Amino acid sequence: MTLLESIVALVIVSLAAVGFLNVFESDARLPGAAREWTSAVAYAEEGMELVKLGQVVPGTGRGGLSRRVTKSPYARHVDEVRVVVTLDGGRVFELRRLVAAR
């Protein structure tokens, strides 16, 4: 094998290794992102339940999450409740439900 062939082989192996490392790196980030979204969904559900109970929903929350709740008439005796949770980095989760008007 010549020197040129050896260099080409090393470049090919290096490119393959970089591809595998990118896959492993993205797999390492997924559990953290899933944990963040799970917290956002739970925080939105908590806000929705507080609205159903007729309680005031606080806007600031745990772990860098913020929550905004709006309630508007949808139909006779029915309101639409929107809970918007903003995560760090500006990502947003929105939960909408129809609830009996009080």
- Give the pLDDT of residue 84: 94
* DSSP codes joined into one string, 26-68: HHHHHHHHHHHHHHHHHHHHHHHHHHHTTPPPPSB-STT-EEE
pLDDT in tens, 11-37: 888 888 887 777 777 666 777 788 888
Q: Domain tally for the chain?
A: 1
- Give the pLDDT of residue 18: 82
The residue-averaged pLDDT of 94-102 equals 89
In terms of residue numbers, what domain contains 15? 3-100
